[in-house]
């Protein structure tokens, strides 16, 4: 269930196109392919809005760079695994992130389809066991 609290806002990173190793077929284990990542982070942005100070904000650039590095360095077999890893990464990078939706797609992976992928929604408590 998506957050309904008025104290949580959405921060998004849209259509992050990364080249990485993912898949179960032999050629997918050696040839990098396009992986499309979308992240939606739920956090309270009021402190950042009031102070206008990056120290009070979820730094989406830091999260995007970490996601890029993770995809480029990792080699999961399944998009489900990569999505779960990226969700955990978001929580580990910033304690203000309370929930995340991660969409991982493989453009052109299925003939006649623009893209295939998975979308997951996780809360901090589900992933890290803290509130």
Report, as residue numbers or ranges, the catalytic residues: 106
User: Residue 40 contacts by C-beta under 8 Å, 6 or more apart in sequence?
Assistant: 10, 11, 12, 100, 101
- Which pair of tokens denotes residue 62? 């830091």
Residue 84 DSSP SS3: helix
Q: How far apart are CA 62 and CA 65, in angstroms?
A: 5
- Asked if residues 100 and 87 have their Cβ atoms less than 8 Å apart, the reply is yes
């Amino acid at each position: 269930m998506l957050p309904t609290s008025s104290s949580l806002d959405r921060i998004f990173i849209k259509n992050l196109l990364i080249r990485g190793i993912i898949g179960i077929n032999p050629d997918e284990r050696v040839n990098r392919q396009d992986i499309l990542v979308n992240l939606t982070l739920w956090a309270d942005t009021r402190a950042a809005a009031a102070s206008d100070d990056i120290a009070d904000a979820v730094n989406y650039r830091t999260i995007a760079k970490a996601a890029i590095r993770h995809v480029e360095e990792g080699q999961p077999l399944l998009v489900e695994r990569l999505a779960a890893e990226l969700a955990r990464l978001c929580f580990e990078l910033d304690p203000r992130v309370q929930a995340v939706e991660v969409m991982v797609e493989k453009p052109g992976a299925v003939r006649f389809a623009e893209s295939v992928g998975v979308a997951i929604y996780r809360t901090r408590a589900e992933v890290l066991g803290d509130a």
